[in-house]
Amino acid sequence: MYRKIAFFIVCFMLVQYAHAQELQIPVGIRYKYASDETNQEGKKILATLLEGDPDQVLINNTFAGSAICGPYIWYRLKNYPQTVDLSKSMAPSSMPIFKDGKVEKFIVMEGRVLRTPRDGEIFWEVFKKEYVKGQKFDIRKLSSKELSELWAMIAWDIEEPIFIAESGSTKIIFNLIQKNSKLRLFYIDDFSDTDLKNSIGLICAPQDLQNTIKELIQKYSGNAQQD
Protein backbone atom coordinates (compact mmCIF):
# COMPACT_ATOMS: atom_id res chain seq x y z
CA MET A 1 0.00 0.00 0.00
CA TYR A 2 2.73 2.45 1.00
CA ARG A 3 4.74 1.54 -2.08
CA LYS A 4 1.77 2.40 -4.30
CA ILE A 5 1.31 5.75 -2.57
CA ALA A 6 5.01 6.51 -2.91
CA PHE A 7 4.90 5.49 -6.58
CA PHE A 8 2.01 7.87 -7.35
CA ILE A 9 3.71 10.72 -5.47
CA VAL A 10 6.91 10.21 -7.45
CA CYS A 11 4.96 10.07 -10.72
CA PHE A 12 3.12 13.28 -9.85
CA MET A 13 6.39 15.04 -9.00
CA LEU A 14 7.96 13.88 -12.25
CA VAL A 15 5.02 15.19 -14.28
CA GLN A 16 5.20 18.56 -12.54
CA TYR A 17 8.95 18.68 -13.09
CA ALA A 18 8.52 17.85 -16.78
CA HIS A 19 5.94 20.62 -17.15
CA ALA A 20 8.24 23.11 -15.46
CA GLN A 21 11.15 22.13 -17.68
CA GLU A 22 9.07 22.33 -20.84
CA LEU A 23 7.63 25.77 -19.98
CA GLN A 24 10.67 27.09 -18.10
CA ILE A 25 8.59 28.74 -15.38
CA PRO A 26 10.61 31.66 -13.96
CA VAL A 27 11.36 31.58 -10.24
CA GLY A 28 8.71 33.29 -8.12
CA ILE A 29 5.83 32.89 -10.57
CA ARG A 30 2.83 30.95 -9.30
CA TYR A 31 1.70 28.78 -12.21
CA LYS A 32 -1.14 26.26 -12.09
CA TYR A 33 -1.29 23.44 -14.64
CA ALA A 34 -4.39 21.99 -16.30
CA SER A 35 -4.73 18.52 -17.74
CA ASP A 36 -3.62 17.88 -21.32
CA GLU A 37 -7.26 17.22 -22.19
CA THR A 38 -8.36 20.62 -20.85
CA ASN A 39 -5.52 22.40 -22.63
CA GLN A 40 -6.35 20.71 -25.91
CA GLU A 41 -10.01 21.67 -25.52
CA GLY A 42 -9.00 25.30 -24.91
CA LYS A 43 -6.71 25.28 -27.92
CA LYS A 44 -9.50 23.89 -30.10
CA ILE A 45 -11.91 26.61 -28.96
CA LEU A 46 -9.40 29.34 -29.80
CA ALA A 47 -8.59 27.80 -33.19
CA THR A 48 -12.29 27.72 -34.07
CA LEU A 49 -12.83 31.30 -32.90
CA LEU A 50 -9.81 32.67 -34.75
CA GLU A 51 -9.70 30.64 -37.95
CA GLY A 52 -12.91 28.68 -38.21
CA ASP A 53 -16.54 29.67 -38.53
CA PRO A 54 -17.73 29.77 -34.91
CA ASP A 55 -21.44 29.60 -34.33
CA GLN A 56 -23.21 31.92 -31.92
CA VAL A 57 -23.43 29.18 -29.29
CA LEU A 58 -19.64 28.87 -29.08
CA ILE A 59 -19.19 32.64 -28.86
CA ASN A 60 -21.87 32.95 -26.17
CA ASN A 61 -20.42 30.02 -24.19
CA THR A 62 -16.91 31.47 -24.35
CA PHE A 63 -18.13 34.84 -23.04
CA ALA A 64 -20.71 33.43 -20.60
CA GLY A 65 -18.82 34.70 -17.54
CA SER A 66 -17.20 38.04 -16.77
CA ALA A 67 -14.05 38.46 -18.85
CA ILE A 68 -11.33 41.08 -18.62
CA CYS A 69 -10.39 42.94 -21.79
CA GLY A 70 -6.88 44.21 -21.11
CA PRO A 71 -5.90 47.84 -21.72
CA TYR A 72 -3.82 47.34 -24.85
CA ILE A 73 -6.65 45.65 -26.74
CA TRP A 74 -9.11 48.19 -25.37
CA TYR A 75 -6.88 51.01 -26.61
CA ARG A 76 -7.19 49.54 -30.13
CA LEU A 77 -10.94 48.82 -29.98
CA LYS A 78 -12.47 51.63 -27.95
CA ASN A 79 -13.03 53.94 -30.93
CA TYR A 80 -15.20 51.45 -32.80
CA PRO A 81 -18.82 52.75 -32.67
CA GLN A 82 -20.11 49.37 -31.48
CA THR A 83 -18.11 49.52 -28.24
CA VAL A 84 -20.35 52.26 -26.82
CA ASP A 85 -22.88 49.49 -26.15
CA LEU A 86 -20.51 47.54 -23.91
CA SER A 87 -21.09 47.51 -20.16
CA LYS A 88 -19.57 50.60 -18.59
CA SER A 89 -17.39 48.51 -16.31
CA MET A 90 -13.88 49.88 -16.37
CA ALA A 91 -10.92 47.70 -15.45
CA PRO A 92 -8.10 50.07 -14.45
CA SER A 93 -4.77 48.27 -14.58
CA SER A 94 -1.30 49.04 -13.34
CA MET A 95 0.82 48.30 -16.42
CA PRO A 96 4.61 47.91 -16.32
CA ILE A 97 6.88 49.83 -18.65
CA PHE A 98 9.90 47.70 -19.52
CA LYS A 99 13.41 48.89 -20.27
CA ASP A 100 16.25 46.47 -21.02
CA GLY A 101 14.05 43.58 -19.91
CA LYS A 102 13.28 45.13 -16.49
CA VAL A 103 10.32 47.07 -15.13
CA GLU A 104 11.24 50.75 -15.22
CA LYS A 105 7.97 52.19 -13.94
CA PHE A 106 4.21 51.63 -13.85
CA ILE A 107 1.37 53.55 -15.45
CA VAL A 108 -2.39 53.31 -15.08
CA MET A 109 -4.37 52.28 -18.15
CA GLU A 110 -8.01 51.46 -18.72
CA GLY A 111 -9.45 48.13 -19.81
CA ARG A 112 -13.00 46.78 -19.79
CA VAL A 113 -14.93 44.04 -18.01
CA LEU A 114 -17.16 42.08 -20.41
CA ARG A 115 -20.03 41.10 -18.13
CA THR A 116 -22.60 39.52 -20.43
CA PRO A 117 -22.71 37.29 -23.51
CA ARG A 118 -23.94 40.38 -25.40
CA ASP A 119 -20.78 42.22 -24.35
CA GLY A 120 -18.79 39.26 -25.63
CA GLU A 121 -20.66 39.27 -28.93
CA ILE A 122 -19.96 42.97 -29.49
CA PHE A 123 -16.35 42.61 -28.42
CA TRP A 124 -15.70 39.65 -30.70
CA GLU A 125 -17.23 41.46 -33.67
CA VAL A 126 -14.81 44.40 -33.39
CA PHE A 127 -11.91 42.20 -32.30
CA LYS A 128 -12.18 40.21 -35.53
CA LYS A 129 -12.17 43.39 -37.61
CA GLU A 130 -9.10 44.76 -35.86
CA TYR A 131 -7.03 41.64 -35.33
CA VAL A 132 -8.15 38.54 -37.21
CA LYS A 133 -8.57 39.71 -40.81
CA GLY A 134 -8.19 36.21 -42.25
CA GLN A 135 -4.82 35.60 -40.61
CA LYS A 136 -3.56 32.15 -39.65
CA PHE A 137 -2.62 31.87 -35.99
CA ASP A 138 -0.13 29.65 -34.20
CA ILE A 139 -1.62 28.86 -30.78
CA ARG A 140 1.13 28.07 -28.29
CA LYS A 141 2.18 28.20 -24.64
CA LEU A 142 3.85 31.33 -23.29
CA SER A 143 7.62 31.65 -23.28
CA SER A 144 9.57 32.32 -20.09
CA LYS A 145 9.94 35.99 -21.06
CA GLU A 146 6.22 36.32 -21.78
CA LEU A 147 5.36 34.70 -18.45
CA SER A 148 7.57 37.21 -16.63
CA GLU A 149 5.95 40.14 -18.44
CA LEU A 150 2.45 38.84 -17.75
CA TRP A 151 3.29 38.23 -14.08
CA ALA A 152 4.23 41.91 -13.76
CA MET A 153 0.85 42.95 -15.18
CA ILE A 154 -1.64 40.84 -13.24
CA ALA A 155 -2.75 40.41 -9.63
CA TRP A 156 -3.65 36.71 -9.75
CA ASP A 157 -1.92 33.36 -10.26
CA ILE A 158 -1.25 32.27 -13.83
CA GLU A 159 -3.49 29.30 -14.51
CA GLU A 160 -3.96 27.08 -17.56
CA PRO A 161 -5.43 26.96 -20.13
CA ILE A 162 -3.45 30.00 -21.20
CA PHE A 163 -2.09 30.58 -24.70
CA ILE A 164 -0.55 33.07 -27.06
CA ALA A 165 -2.21 33.25 -30.49
CA GLU A 166 0.53 34.49 -32.81
CA SER A 167 0.41 35.60 -36.43
CA GLY A 168 3.33 37.59 -37.80
CA SER A 169 3.93 40.46 -35.38
CA THR A 170 0.52 40.01 -33.73
CA LYS A 171 0.42 38.21 -30.37
CA ILE A 172 -2.80 37.90 -28.38
CA ILE A 173 -2.92 36.31 -24.94
CA PHE A 174 -5.98 34.22 -24.05
CA ASN A 175 -6.62 32.92 -20.54
CA LEU A 176 -9.55 30.52 -20.13
CA ILE A 177 -11.06 29.16 -16.93
CA GLN A 178 -13.28 26.17 -16.15
CA LYS A 179 -16.74 27.31 -15.10
CA ASN A 180 -19.88 25.15 -14.92
CA SER A 181 -17.99 22.36 -16.72
CA LYS A 182 -17.21 24.64 -19.66
CA LEU A 183 -14.20 26.75 -20.60
CA ARG A 184 -14.90 30.49 -20.49
CA LEU A 185 -12.73 33.42 -21.43
CA PHE A 186 -11.22 35.07 -18.35
CA TYR A 187 -8.58 37.44 -19.73
CA ILE A 188 -7.50 38.70 -23.14
CA ASP A 189 -4.95 41.32 -24.17
CA ASP A 190 -2.55 42.38 -26.89
CA PHE A 191 0.92 41.02 -26.19
CA SER A 192 2.39 42.01 -29.52
CA ASP A 193 5.26 44.43 -29.00
CA THR A 194 6.58 45.63 -25.67
CA ASP A 195 8.36 48.61 -27.24
CA LEU A 196 5.19 49.67 -29.05
CA LYS A 197 3.13 49.28 -25.88
CA ASN A 198 5.64 51.38 -23.96
CA SER A 199 5.40 54.12 -26.59
CA ILE A 200 1.65 54.48 -25.97
CA GLY A 201 2.10 54.51 -22.22
CA LEU A 202 1.10 58.16 -22.11
CA ILE A 203 -2.44 57.06 -23.07
CA CYS A 204 -3.45 56.56 -19.45
CA ALA A 205 -6.66 56.36 -17.52
CA PRO A 206 -8.02 59.60 -16.02
CA GLN A 207 -6.01 60.99 -13.12
CA ASP A 208 -8.67 60.18 -10.54
CA LEU A 209 -8.38 56.48 -11.37
CA GLN A 210 -4.74 56.51 -10.35
CA ASN A 211 -5.71 57.15 -6.76
CA THR A 212 -8.16 54.23 -6.73
CA ILE A 213 -5.40 51.72 -7.50
CA LYS A 214 -2.49 53.41 -5.73
CA GLU A 215 -2.04 50.42 -3.47
CA LEU A 216 -1.94 48.08 -6.49
CA ILE A 217 0.81 50.14 -8.09
CA GLN A 218 2.86 50.15 -4.89
CA LYS A 219 2.42 46.43 -4.45
CA TYR A 220 3.75 45.48 -7.86
CA SER A 221 6.23 48.25 -8.57
CA GLY A 222 8.68 47.47 -5.77
CA ASN A 223 11.51 49.88 -6.25
CA ALA A 224 10.39 50.83 -9.74
CA GLN A 225 9.75 54.50 -10.44
CA GLN A 226 6.07 55.48 -10.49
CA ASP A 227 4.35 58.17 -12.51
Question: Which H/E stretch holds residue 173?
Answer: strand 170-179
Averaged pLDDT for residues 165-174: 93
Collapse the DSSP code of 184 into the 3-class scheme (helix H, G, I; strand E, B; otherwise coil) and give the result: strand
Q: Which candidate, 85, 96, 60, places its Cα nearest to that of 189?
A: 96
Q: Which domains does the chain have, with CATH numbers?
A: 30-226 (3.10.450)
Cross-strand partners of 84: none
Give the predicted TM-score (pTM) of the model. 0.74
Name all contacts of 105-108 with Cβ < 8 Å and 24+ positions apart: 105/221, 105/224, 105/225, 105/226, 105/227, 106/217, 106/220, 106/221, 106/224, 106/226, 106/227, 107/201, 107/202, 107/204, 107/227, 108/204, 108/205, 108/209, 108/210, 108/213, 108/217, 108/227
Q: Contact, 201 vs 97, CB < 8 A?
A: yes
Pairing of strands 182-190, 67-69: parallel
Q: Could you report the per-residue pLDDT of 85-134, keeping only the tens digit for each?
A: 787 777 766 666 667 767 677 777 788 899 888 899 999 999 999 998 88
**Residues of the chain above pLDDT 70, percent:** 70
Lowest average pLDDT, out of 21-35, 152-166, 170-184, 186-200, goes to 186-200
Selected residue with higher pLDDT from 204 and 96? 96
Cross-strand partners of 67: 114
Q: Contact, 199 vs 189, CB < 8 A?
A: no
Q: Is the peptide bond before 26 cis (omega within 30 degrees of 0)?
A: no
What is residue 1's predicted lDDT score, i.e. its pLDDT? 54
For residue 186, is pLDDT > 80?
yes
Q: Contact, 25 vs 31, CB < 8 A?
A: yes
